Amino acid sequence: MFVALSSFTIANGMVEEVREAFRQRPHMVDSAPGFVGMEVMSPTTDSAEIWLLTRWSDAASFHDWHRGHEYHEIHKGIPKGLKLVPGSATLRYFEVFAD
């Protein structure tokens, strides 16, 4: 299994708007080939820090989705006016080798 873990920190107090956008997400990724699941979370110590973990059957499936039209389409749901802490956005990849 392949995991993509992205994170960012909200700079301008729009935490609830971002959380609601994720709650109301269009679920387009759910039918993507190789998609297994997703969780969106925040550390209990900082609600402005958002972590998005997606699980995939393989890296190629994730990269195909990430380059695709639907990936860019769903990002239109980002709340207008959202500002991030500069340099806070990260994307890391993991190989799951035991569960």
For residue 55, the model assigns a pLDDT of 98
Cα separation, 55 vs 36, in Å, equals 5
- Which residues sit opposite 90 in a β-bridge? 7
The DSSP letter of residue 79 is: P
pTM value? 0.87
For residue 70, the model assigns a pLDDT of 79
Cα separation, 16 vs 3, in Å, equals 26
For residue 45, the model assigns a pLDDT of 97
Q: Is 9:86 a contact under the CB 8 Å cutoff?
A: no
CATH class of 2-95: alpha beta
Cα separation, 40 vs 80, in Å, equals 20
Domain ranges (residues) in the chain: 2-95
Q: What is the pLDDT of residues 17-52, one digit of tens each?
A: 999 999 998 888 999 999 999 999 999 999 999 999
Q: Beta-carbon neighbour count of residue 62 at 10 Å?
A: 22
The DSSP letter of residue 13 is: S
Q: What is the pLDDT of residues 59-99, one digit of tens each?
A: 999 999 988 877 777 777 788 899 999 999 999 999 999 98
